[in-house]
């Protein structure tokens, strides 16, 4: 393979991104899918050049940069317009001055009641963070309330203040509004321009007010602070007065209830004959008092003692029963009491000694021998002693068990009798406990009310504010608005936003192809090659030089086609475009020349039967051509003309027929194509444009692949999408797209160097010129 083919294979890899982009405009035209044949990957495909990493992905910085460059004038216009508007609005706005003061709000300012805070602390809670925050937010709401605003308005006489209305831009309010209307307007303006802020985790409240008058803003904030303090002091004094009156009335009522409840308690105790040994202290819970009262009776004390004794007897009985069951259910020498007896142990030891001696005598003497008979008698005597001792131990355990059981039964009987007496007594105690609880409750209420009444009387008139002034408002030295820097920053952000939206909308509505990435993004097909914008020379003159940039572009496209399918280059292809004048015929001829130069036998057919132009480009006569083939029995050899490039045959369009669509849709065109494929290696059709004609879609169904040509930077206003939709309707095999008349310098130096159009040297002294 020659060098141009190898170079083309690498370029082909770089220019064939994924065909599965969901944002492709073709994908939205119809539910079918174009048959786009992806390129075959070669060994060089893993070595993408730096700067192309991420090409074809969601974020393409190079594409964004190219779009910005192409819309630079529009961007500058938007930025300058918004900047001028920001400056104009800034200088046209009346200066306003903002004064602020800080106050610290505590939960309490002083304590009137023992062990209890004043009214503010009661609202804020006792140490609970949530309650404290709620209290502080309440104070903020109080500052913003209509009541405080009315106090401030009355203090400064704002209803009749010309300075106030002038500072708010309402100079004519005094003449146009009556007093009631001015009152409502004053409250509305105060609420609108007053700002009360409470930072998180802080007790400092910042009060700010903004107006056109710096002095008035400061005076109004300071008035708000003083009126807020005065309001809190008055509220506390009023709350204390109401409390004293309420407590005085309650004391009289509670005292009468206490006396009556004590009389009822004494009368019931005398009638029920209840005598208490212990008296529960006042203030305890009802259950606690009842338990103390019940435990203080004689019957209850006796029941407790007998119950404890019964429990102990039961425990002793259970233990004795366990020992008896153990000694009764096992063999006589297995019980613990038997084996633990010292006398039993001595007898067992003696028996063991006698048994051993007897065994020795039996081994030496006959059974009737005196020592043997004496030993047997002694052994029998020891066994009888053991049986007697074991029986005595068992009888002792049994007697202990019987005694414990009898004691338990007797105590249970006594406890049962006392329980009945105690229950009877409890019936009377319940009523007594209720009456006693009523007495204690009335006494507690009375004592508490009396103590609080004394404290309120002692502290009446003493007012300690819980509000501390940290910073009073001072006269602001410079206006708070308009802020030139802030307005310009907002304008800059707005300009960026508007620019992004305008360019994005323009880019979405524009189906023109500007840069190579647009072939994939907007056409939804791989890029087969790029044709640079040539100088004033004719393209055929540049194609005659195999080292020109134009020749190299088509050599690269030829190499891309060789790897466009799994079987290599298609045998028959149609070259079409959306509109006339996009370089379709030049691309067809240049591609045919490039294929012929590599040794292919190529047939180029001008299938544009409406506005043929191929015969003029190759300077051939057009008396016979494709129309002649389709309307007569002449062969391809009769109408084909040889080009000066070896291996290239050209069939012009011939005479323009009255109905080109009927000729291209007949059976004859298929027969001609079949014969052409047998006689030539590659058959190329210079197809008519797609938009508005049925010729190109019909040709697309006959060939093995379609090459779509798009001119760079050409405004189409929907023509490109319409052409792709018509082509898509016949479901062709689209090999890829060719970007023609591409000016790399227009998109920036990054594209110029990357795509190889920046003064590429083939040999010393040779330099391609693409700057025209």
- pLDDT tens digits for range 642-686: 988 899 999 999 998 888 888 888 889 999 999 999 999 999 999
Would residue 90 count as lying in a domain?
A: no
Average pLDDT of every residue of the chain: 75
pLDDT band at 458, cuts 50/70/90?
A: low
Q: How far apart are CA 295 and CA 277, in angstroms?
A: 8
Top mean-pLDDT range of 208-212, 281-285, 720-724: 208-212
Q: For residue 708, is pLDDT > 80?
A: yes
Would residue 63 count as lying in a domain?
A: no
The pLDDT score that the predictor gives to residue 538 is 63
The pLDDT score that the predictor gives to residue 605 is 93
Strand partners, 711: 740
Would residue 761 count as lying in a domain?
A: no
- Average of per-residue pLDDT across 425-441: 75
Q: Say yes or no: 330 and 393 in one domain.
A: yes
Domain harbouring 518, CATH code: 3.40.50.300
What angle in degrees, to the nearest 10, is found between the helix axes of 370-459 and 286-295? 130
Q: How far apart are CA 564 and CA 570, in angstroms?
A: 8
The pLDDT score that the predictor gives to residue 641 is 92
Would residue 698 count as lying in a domain?
A: yes
* Three-state SS at 372: helix
**Tens digits of per-residue pLDDT, 25-42?**
333 333 333 344 443 333
Would residue 40 count as lying in a domain?
A: yes
- Average of per-residue pLDDT across 510-523: 76
Q: Say yes or no: 526 and 622 in one domain.
A: yes
The pLDDT score that the predictor gives to residue 743 is 77
Q: Say yes or no: 440 and 557 in one domain.
A: no
The pLDDT score that the predictor gives to residue 706 is 92
Q: Say yes or no: 39 and 170 in one domain.
A: no
- Whether 678 contacts 715, CB under 8 Å: no
The pLDDT score that the predictor gives to residue 214 is 85
With tokens 């009444």, the residue in question is 453
Q: Say yes or no: 683 and 600 in one domain.
A: yes
The pLDDT score that the predictor gives to residue 505 is 80
**Tens digits of per-residue pLDDT, 397-406?**
777 778 877 8
The pLDDT score that the predictor gives to residue 767 is 39
The pLDDT score that the predictor gives to residue 537 is 55
Would residue 265 count as lying in a domain?
A: no
Greater confidence (267 vs 225) lies with 225
To which H or E segment does residue 682 belong? strand 682-686
Q: For residue 562, is pLDDT > 80?
A: yes
The pLDDT score that the predictor gives to residue 200 is 85
Residue 542 neighbours by CB distance under 10 Å: 19
- Given 437, 459, 481, the domain boundary residue is 459
Greater confidence (283 vs 179) lies with 179
Which range among 380-389, 467-476, 570-579 shows the weakest confidence by mean pLDDT? Answer: 380-389
- Average of per-residue pLDDT across 243-264: 80
Burial environment of residue 677 by CB neighbours within 10 A (0 to 12, 13 to 18, 19 or more): middle
Nearest to 384 by CA among 359, 352, 351, 357: 351
* Three-state SS at 238: helix
Q: For residue 474, is pLDDT > 80?
A: yes
Residue 344 neighbours by CB distance under 10 Å: 19
- Whether 53 contacts 752, CB under 8 Å: no
The torsion defined by the Cα of 690, 691, 695 and 696, in degrees rounded to 10, comes to 10
Q: The domain containing residue 108 runs over which residues?
A: 97-247+466-471
Q: Say yes or no: 37 and 107 in one domain.
A: no
With tokens 């039964």, the residue in question is 409
Greater confidence (692 vs 49) lies with 692
- Average of per-residue pLDDT across 717-734: 81
- Average of per-residue pLDDT across 345-357: 77
40 half-sphere exposure, CB direction, 13 A CA radius: 14
Q: Say yes or no: 24 and 138 in one domain.
A: no
- Whether 54 contacts 756, CB under 8 Å: no
Alpha helices, H only, 563-692: 584-597, 614-618, 626-631, 636-639, 660-664, 667-679
pLDDT band at 455, cuts 50/70/90?
A: confident
- Average of per-residue pLDDT across 177-186: 86
The pLDDT score that the predictor gives to residue 444 is 85
Nearest to 706 by CA among 746, 735, 743, 683: 735
* Three-state SS at 651: strand
Q: For residue 493, is pLDDT > 80?
A: yes
Tokens at 609, concatenated = 């039967």
pLDDT band at 464, cuts 50/70/90?
A: low
- Whether 279 contacts 292, CB under 8 Å: yes
Q: Say yes or no: 664 and 579 in one domain.
A: yes
The pLDDT score that the predictor gives to residue 463 is 60
Q: How far apart are CA 604 and CA 652, in angstroms?
A: 8
| Percentage of the chain lying above the pLDDT 90 cut | 8
Total domains present in the chain: 3
pLDDT band at 43, cuts 50/70/90?
A: very low
Nearest to 266 by CA among 113, 438, 400: 438
pLDDT band at 329, cuts 50/70/90?
A: low
The pLDDT score that the predictor gives to residue 116 is 42
Would residue 292 count as lying in a domain?
A: yes
Would residue 260 count as lying in a domain?
A: no
User: Cα 418 to the chain's mean position, in Å?
Assistant: 72
- Kindly write down the DSSP assignment for every residue of 171-232, as one continuous string: TTHHHHS-HHHHHHHHHHHHHHHEEEE--TT--EEEEEEEES-HHHHHHHHHHHHHHHHHHH
- Average of per-residue pLDDT across 698-721: 83
pLDDT band at 550, cuts 50/70/90?
A: confident
Greater confidence (358 vs 120) lies with 358
Which range among 302-311, 422-431, 637-646 shows the weakest confidence by mean pLDDT? Answer: 422-431
* Three-state SS at 720: helix
The pLDDT score that the predictor gives to residue 733 is 87
* Three-state SS at 680: coil
The pLDDT score that the predictor gives to residue 51 is 35
Tokens at 423, concatenated = 């229950």
The pLDDT score that the predictor gives to residue 250 is 81
**Tens digits of per-residue pLDDT, 604-627?**
999 988 889 888 888 898 889 999
Q: Say yes or no: 563 and 678 in one domain.
A: yes
Q: Say yes or no: 125 and 201 in one domain.
A: yes
Q: For residue 295, is pLDDT > 80?
A: no
- Average of per-residue pLDDT across 463-470: 78
Q: Say yes or no: 214 and 138 in one domain.
A: yes
Q: For residue 15, is pLDDT > 50?
A: no
Q: Say yes or no: 297 and 238 in one domain.
A: no
- Average of per-residue pLDDT across 57-70: 68
Which range among 285-289, 393-397, 538-542 shows the weakest confidence by mean pLDDT? Answer: 285-289
């Amino acid at each position: 393979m020659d060098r141009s083919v190898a170079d083309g294979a690498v370029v082909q890899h770089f220019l064939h991104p994924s065909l599965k982009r969901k944002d492709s405009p073709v994908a939205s035209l119809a539910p079918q899918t174009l048959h786009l044949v992806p390129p075959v990957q070669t060994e060089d495909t893993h070595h993408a050049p730096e700067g192309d990493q991420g090409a074809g992905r969601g974020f393409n910085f190079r594409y964004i940069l190219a779009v910005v460059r192409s819309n630079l004038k529009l961007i500058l216009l938007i930025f300058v317009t918004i900047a001028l508007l920001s400056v104009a609005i800034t200088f046209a706005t009346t200066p306003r001055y903002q004064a602020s003061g800080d106050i610290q709000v505590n939960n309490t300012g002083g304590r009137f009641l023992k062990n209890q805070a004043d009214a503010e602390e009661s609202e804020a809670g006792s140490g609970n963070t949530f309650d404290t925050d709620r209290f502080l937010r309440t104070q903020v709401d109080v500052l913003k309330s209509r009541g405080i605003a009315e106090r401030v308005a009355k203090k400064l006489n704002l209803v009749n203040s010309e300075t106030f209305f002038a500072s708010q831009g309402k100079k004519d309010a005094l003449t146009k509004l009556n007093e009631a209307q001015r009152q409502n307007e004053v409250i509305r303006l105060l609420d609108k321009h007053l700002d009360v802020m409470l930072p998180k985790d802080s007790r400092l409240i910042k009060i700010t007010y903004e107006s056109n008058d710096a002095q008035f803003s400061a005076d109004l904030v300071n008035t708000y602070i003083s009126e807020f303090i005065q309001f809190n002091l008055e509220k506390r004094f009023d709350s204390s007065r109401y409390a004293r009156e309420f407590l005085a009335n309650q004391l009289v009522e509670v005292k009468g209830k206490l006396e009556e409840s004590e009389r009822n308690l004494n009368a019931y105790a005398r009638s029920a004959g209840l005598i208490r040994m212990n008296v529960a202290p006042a203030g305890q819970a009802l259950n606690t008092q009842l338990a103390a009262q019940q435990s203080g009776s004689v019957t209850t004390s006796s029941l407790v003692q007998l119950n404890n004794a019964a429990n102990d007897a039961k425990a002793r009985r259970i233990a004795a029963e366990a020992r008896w069951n153990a000694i009764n259910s096992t063999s006589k020498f297995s019980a613990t009491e038997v084996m633990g007896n010292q006398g039993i142990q001595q007898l067992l030891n003696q028996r063991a000694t006698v048994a051993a001696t007897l065994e020795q005598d039996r081994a030496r003497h006959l059974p009737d021998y005196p020592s043997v008979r004496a030993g047997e008698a002694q052994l029998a005597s020891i066994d009888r002693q053991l049986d007697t001792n074991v029986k005595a131990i068992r009888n002792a355990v049994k007697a202990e068990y019987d005694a414990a059981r009898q004691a338990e039964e007797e105590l249970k009987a006594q406890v049962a009798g006392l329980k009945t007496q105690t229950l009877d007594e409890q019936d009377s105690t319940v009523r007594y406990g209720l009456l006693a609880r009523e007495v204690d409750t009335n006494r507690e209420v009375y004592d508490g009310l009396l103590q609080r009444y004394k404290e309120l009387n002692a502290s009446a008139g003493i007012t300690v504010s819980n509000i501390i002034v940290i910073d009073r408002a001072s006269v602001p030295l410079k206006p708070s608005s308009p802020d030139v820097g802030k307005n310009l920053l907002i304008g800059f952000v707005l300009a960026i936003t508007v620019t992004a939206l305008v360019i994005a909308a323009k880019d979405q509505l524009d189906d023109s192809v500007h840069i190579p990435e647009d072939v994939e993004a907007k056409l939804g097909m791989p890029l087969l090659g790029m044709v640079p914008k040539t100088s004033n020379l004719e393209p055929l003159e540049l194609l005659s030089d195999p080292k020109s940039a134009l020749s190299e572009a088509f050599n690269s496209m030829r190499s891309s086609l060789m790897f466009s399918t799994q079987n290599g280059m298609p045998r028959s292809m149609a070259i079409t475009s959306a509109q006339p004048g996009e370089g379709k015929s030049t691309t067809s001829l240049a591609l045919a020349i490039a294929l012929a130069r590599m040794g292919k036998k190529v047939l180029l057919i001008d299938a544009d039967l409406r506005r043929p132009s191929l015969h003029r480009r190759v300077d051939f006569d057009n008396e016979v051509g494709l129309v002649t083939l389709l309307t007569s029995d002449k062969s391809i050899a009769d109408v084909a003309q040889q080009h000066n490039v070896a291996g290239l045959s050209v069939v012009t369009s011939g005479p323009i027929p009255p109905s080109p669509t009927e000729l291209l849709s007949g059976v004859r065109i298929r027969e001609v194509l079949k014969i052409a494929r047998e006689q030539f290696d590659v058959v190329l059709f210079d197809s008519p444009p797609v938009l508005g004609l049925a010729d190109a879609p019909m040709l697309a169904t006959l060939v093995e692949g379609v090459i779509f040509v798009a001119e760079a930077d050409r405004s189409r206003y929907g023509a490109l999408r319409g052409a792709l939709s018509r082509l898509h309707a016949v479901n062709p095999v689209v090999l890829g797209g060719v970007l023609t008349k591409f000016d790399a310098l227009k998109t920036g130096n990054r594209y110029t160097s990357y795509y190889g159009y920046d003064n590429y040297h083939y040999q010393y002294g040779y330099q391609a010129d693409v700057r025209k």
